[in-house]
Amino acid sequence: MDQIKDVLRSVISGLMKQEKGVDFQKAQDVLKKAIGPKAFTHTQIVYLTKDKIRVNVDSSSRLYDLNLRKERIAREIGQALQIKDIRFRLGDVTKREKTRVWQR
């Protein structure tokens, strides 16, 4: 039963990532470029819509650093994806399949 649950979770996650609107893979690539590859490994996009993005960060010191650079990061992401709001928060970054992509 656990295998079926895992398969369904990955299929649903894949379908959510393929919907119209914001391309999840493109969002990851743009975020990686904006914050740098080293910092990117300590983050996870957990919420993504056509105008908002929420990113979990694994440590408070990295969260502080990203919040200091938030305006520049938001500008870079906004130019590439038309996202108006980016929010960083302390949270889990290990479960990448839990990303929610919402369409409005």
Integer CA distances (angstroms), 87 to 4, 5, 57, 76, 94, in order: 34, 30, 10, 14, 18
CATH of region 2-101, choose from 3.30.300.180, 3.40.50.10480, 3.20.20.30, 3.10.20.30? 3.30.300.180
pLDDT digits (tens, 9 = 90+) for 11-27: 666 665 555 456 888 99
Whether the full predicted model's pTM is greater than 0.85, yes or no, is: no
Q: What is the pLDDT of residue 49?
A: 87
The structural domains of the chain, with segments of one domain joined by +, span 2-101
